[in-house]
Amino acid sequence: MSSALRFEVISKAFEKKPLVIPNREDRPSEFFAKYVFNRQKMFKYLPAKVYKKMCDVIDNGTTLDLATADAVAEGMKRWAMELGATHCTHWFQPLTEGTAEKHDGFVEHDWKGGMVEEFSGKQLVQQEPDASSFPSGGIRSTFEARGYSAWDPASPVFVIGDTLHIPTVFISYTGEALDYKAPLKKALKAVDKAATAVTQYFYPEVTKVISNLGWEQEYFLVDEGLYAARPDLLMTGRTLMGHDSAKNQQMEDHYFGSIPARVAAFMKDLEIQALELGIPCKTRHNEVAPNQFELAPIFEETNLAVDHNMLIMGVMQEVARKHGFRCLLHEKPFAGVNGSGKHNNWSLSTNTGVLLHGPGKTATDNLRFVTFIVETLMGVYRHNGLLKASIISATNAHRLGANEAPPAIISSFLGKQLSDLLDELEKSSDDEVKLDGKRAMSLDIPQIPELMLDNTDRNRTSPFAFTGNRFEFRAVGSQANCAAAMIVLNTAVAEALADFKVRVDALIAKGVEKNAAILKVVREDIKTCKSIHFDGNGYSDEWKKEAAARGLDVESSAPLMLDNYVKPESIEMFKKMNVLSEAELRARLEIKQETYTKKIQIEARIFGDLCLNHIVPVAKRYQKQLIDNIKVVQGVFSDKEAAELTADDMDIVRQINSHCTFIIKNVEALVDARRVANKIEDERSKAIAYHDTVAPLLETIRYHVDKLELIVDDELWPLPKYRELLFIR
Ligand code: ADP
Ligand code: MG
């Protein structure tokens, strides 16, 4: 990148471009799920018997026989071909980031020298992508790298462009999960089982509990020309250098501000495509940082919501390109302004339509409500370190702990009413429960007054906040697969509920009345998990001290946080709930450690290159200009006058010199640190070395680069600056 090019891309970015505003006459309800083979399409394209069987497979998880699969494939093919599809792909979520696919045409020999369009049940149900290039954490050695993807009928197939996409799980031939979806589905099954059993104390008619997820996706948009002129952004998704813009978010004028026309056109286009793909988009707005935005759909069943989030992250990037933008999903593309997260709104509900995390009207409803709140807290309390491990990554580490996002400590905000209620319950005696200090009640008719839960009482500093009828897990990173967090959360809550049921049943067996038994155990648990409850300011330093005193996980080094995956209580939980085996957990951990290392390795390489071949040469060129000028002045004026006239320039020359010397010396140190770390074989130790020795150098050197940016002539500076990246639309 030359400075001339910088000006060219800036002026292009400022140019008024024709807006590509999609024009649609029909309403969202008319084009919603146009490209999705949902129940409506199944009904239309499948024989009645096959349709019924498919509904049973989807609703009750019954297995699909090959004859039915063949019939489904036939109808699916007909539908997809009407939409112009010529290929199909199994679409899966390997343990890298993003999704993977391998396209096959709908073609077969007709054995008469021609071709026929064919798509069999077998192709629909199972494929064997070469698994050797996907991370497996040592589960399979390369020579036996056989894995297969298997259709997940709970997530409907969809068409993008000319390709029918089939959501699948990805498993090794020996049965281990190689993706996010296989364990997610198991976690959802575990929470369904445990929660249904507990729900039946209150509503015996309930036969299924559904886990819900409503994600809120934050992102940045950057003009594509400027993006291309920043090799760091291009290669790592974030800027590794760049001085603060004089104006950034301090005016708070971007949040919920009016949406710029070019961005609005992008959003509209994105929403249309998302709706056509069956993603129920609802909310869009500006976020806190300049050029930062948010998109949120209506919540859905968690498995589907996860697929939809993965899908939309891809669609966002495509649509952004069409509008001359790049969409940045990185958690921290720019230092000094807010990063991006993906709030995961989570709740449980029944097949009869009851929101288990929401208060209700009757006494039974409220005892159920308290039970589910407290047992959720129990799960989060017991596995707070593991929950943190589920959301940490090299990229999200930039966001956590900074004063803009939840700290690197998991705690739960409940709000005043709910806190008071739990306090009352905790203090109450076995035969009397007082609420609001007024109402007394006997245990056989628990009358928890209908709660008017104030969901405006938000505490933005809490990583796991109760917001009226759901919990909002806010620590999830913007580019993460939500499944990682959802696997842990749902499994932890399943374990807590299962354990709760055992203890309540034991009391009932001893002759304690059911509601009394429930209250007794709830009360016990309120006491046990008290330390996870924190309504105060999560950003404060006092909280860090207090959390440590409470025994919560306060580890702040990302590689060490990951250790939680293989703590005995984590291994036991995943095993007991039948979600992941110890071997799978160890494999996952290794992949996470390796990914952590690689991310920082790439950053360090690009950063070193940019320092040595972009920044230092330009700084020296400017330094030479100054020296030349000083020489001219010295030739014209007397020594005394010249000394006065050149004093400022001399000062800058010295500053440049000292910054450049520091940069060159420390880039060498950075290369050395990498070299040492690369020799380490054990993935954990290597990740720790990268965290402790490589990553900090990036920050130290950056300080000097950013100082140079302030003093070097703007005309020479080779990289688009923050004020250009963040304020151009
Ligand atoms: P915020 O004020 O935090 O931006 P919104 O009202 O925009 O909240 O909702 C955020 C997300 O929470 C949406 O995706 C919404 O569908 C989801 N949501 C609402 N209620 C529930 C619930 N009971 N369970 C799960 N998600 C929910
Ligand atoms: Mg929110």
Residue type for position 555: E
When pLDDT is averaged across residues 22-35 and rounded to a whole number, the result is 87
How remote is the CA of residue 316 from the centroid of ligand 2, in Å? 20
Residue type for position 276: E
Residue 654 above 90 pLDDT?
yes
Exposed (0-12), middle (13-18) or buried (19+): which is 264, by Cβ within 10 Å?
A: middle
Neighbours of 304 (CB within 10 A): 18
Residue 593 above 80 pLDDT?
yes
How remote is the CA of residue 197 from the centroid of ligand 2, in Å? 30
How remote is the CA of residue 274 from the centroid of ligand 2, in Å? 20
How remote is the CA of residue 257 from the centroid of ligand 2, in Å? 17
Please, which pLDDT band fits residue 443 given cuts at 50, 70 and 90?
very low
How remote is the CA of residue 268 from the centroid of ligand 1, in Å? 21
Structural contact between residues 366 and 359, judged by C-beta atoms closer than 8 angstroms: yes
- The reported pLDDT for the residue numbered 418 is 87
Q: What is the pLDDT of residues 8-18, one digit of tens each?
A: 888 888 787 77
The ligand placed nearest to the CA atom of residue 215 is: 1
Look at residue 471 and give its three-state secondary structure.
Answer: strand
Residue 456 above 60 pLDDT?
no
How remote is the CA of residue 244 from the centroid of ligand 2, in Å? 27
| Any atom of ligand 1 within 6 Å of the Cβ of 296 | yes
- The reported pLDDT for the residue numbered 514 is 92
Buried b (16+ CB within 10 A) or exposed e, 145-181: bebbbbbbbbbbbbbbeebbbbbbbbbbeeebbbbbb
Q: What is the pLDDT of residues 144-182, one digit of tens each?
A: 456 888 999 999 999 999 999 999 999 888 888 989 999
How remote is the CA of residue 285 from the centroid of ligand 1, in Å? 14
Atom nearest to 283 CA in ligand 1:
7
| Any atom of ligand 1 within 6 Å of the Cβ of 345 | yes
The ligand placed nearest to the CA atom of residue 348 is: 1
Mutate to test the pocket of ligand 1, among 216, 271, 285 (most ligand atoms within 8 A of CB): 216
| Any atom of ligand 1 within 6 Å of the Cβ of 331 | no
Specify the residue with its C-alpha closest to ligand 1, atom 14: 214
DSSP state of 132: G
Q: What is the pLDDT of residues 75-104, one digit of tens each?
A: 999 999 999 999 999 999 998 778 988 888
The ligand placed nearest to the CA atom of residue 295 is: 1
User: CA angle, corner 463, sides to 459 and 466, nearest 5?
Assistant: 60
- The reported pLDDT for the residue numbered 148 is 85
Give the relative orientation of helices 363-382 and 416-427 as an angle to the nearest 10 degrees.
90
How remote is the CA of residue 471 from the centroid of ligand 2, in Å? 10
| Any atom of ligand 1 within 6 Å of the Cβ of 212 | yes
Mutate to test the pocket of ligand 1, among 188, 279, 299 (most ligand atoms within 8 A of CB): 299
Neighbours of 309 (CB within 10 A): 21
d(CA 329, CA 482): 13
Please, which pLDDT band fits residue 440 given cuts at 50, 70 and 90?
very low
How remote is the CA of residue 81 from the centroid of ligand 2, in Å? 39
Atom nearest to 214 CA in ligand 1:
14
Atom nearest to 296 CA in ligand 1:
14
d(CA 242, CA 702): 8
Mutate to test the pocket of ligand 1, among 287, 300, 345 (most ligand atoms within 8 A of CB): 345
Neighbours of 405 (CB within 10 A): 25
Atom nearest to 355 CA in ligand 1:
23
The ligand placed nearest to the CA atom of residue 474 is: 2
Atom nearest to 345 CA in ligand 1:
26
DSSP state of 94: B
| Token pair 């969409």: residue | 327
How remote is the CA of residue 298 from the centroid of ligand 1, in Å? 7
| Any atom of ligand 1 within 6 Å of the Cβ of 470 | yes
The ligand placed nearest to the CA atom of residue 287 is: 1
- Sequence-distant (6+) residues with CB within 8 A of 390 are 484, 485, 487, 488, 489
The ligand placed nearest to the CA atom of residue 301 is: 1
When pLDDT is averaged across residues 329-336 and rounded to a whole number, the result is 95
| Any atom of ligand 1 within 6 Å of the Cβ of 385 | no
| Any atom of ligand 1 within 6 Å of the Cβ of 474 | no
- Of 68-72, 260-264, 343-347, 685-689, give the lowest mean pLDDT range: 260-264
d(CA 676, CA 457): 50
d(CA 670, CA 604): 7
| Any atom of ligand 1 within 6 Å of the Cβ of 216 | yes
Q: To the nearest 10°, the Cα dihedral for 519, 524, 526, 529?
A: -150
Residue 576 above 60 pLDDT?
yes
Atom nearest to 299 CA in ligand 1:
16
Atom nearest to 346 CA in ligand 1:
25
- The reported pLDDT for the residue numbered 511 is 95
For residue 293, give the nearest of 258, 319, 318, 269 by alpha carbon: 258
Specify the residue with its C-alpha closest to ligand 1, atom 4: 216
Here the tokens at position 385 are 């370190």
Q: What is the pLDDT of residues 208-253, one digit of tens each?
A: 999 999 999 999 999 999 999 999 999 999 999 999 988 776 666 6
Residue 465 above 70 pLDDT?
yes
| Any atom of ligand 1 within 6 Å of the Cβ of 469 | yes
| Any atom of ligand 1 within 6 Å of the Cβ of 279 | no
| Any atom of ligand 1 within 6 Å of the Cβ of 347 | yes
How remote is the CA of residue 472 from the centroid of ligand 2, in Å? 7
d(CA 535, CA 370): 18
Specify the residue with its C-alpha closest to ligand 1, atom 11: 214
Structural contact between residues 468 and 480, judged by C-beta atoms closer than 8 angstroms: no
Here the tokens at position 562 are 């990951």
| Any atom of ligand 1 within 6 Å of the Cβ of 355 | yes
Structural contact between residues 451 and 421, judged by C-beta atoms closer than 8 angstroms: yes
Residue 564 above 90 pLDDT?
yes
Please, which pLDDT band fits residue 404 given cuts at 50, 70 and 90?
low
How remote is the CA of residue 282 from the centroid of ligand 1, in Å? 10
- The reported pLDDT for the residue numbered 209 is 97
How remote is the CA of residue 25 from the centroid of ligand 1, in Å? 29
558 half-sphere exposure, CB direction, 13 A CA radius: 26
- The reported pLDDT for the residue numbered 403 is 58
| Token pair 């589960």: residue | 139
d(CA 73, CA 184): 25
| Any atom of ligand 1 within 6 Å of the Cβ of 298 | yes
d(CA 163, CA 311): 14
Structural contact between residues 483 and 579, judged by C-beta atoms closer than 8 angstroms: no
Here the tokens at position 465 are 């906040």
Atom nearest to 297 CA in ligand 1:
14
When pLDDT is averaged across residues 314-337 and rounded to a whole number, the result is 95
C-alpha to C-alpha distances, 15 to 8, 9, 66, 227, nearest whole angstrom: 11, 10, 57, 16
Mean pLDDT, the chain, as a whole number?
90
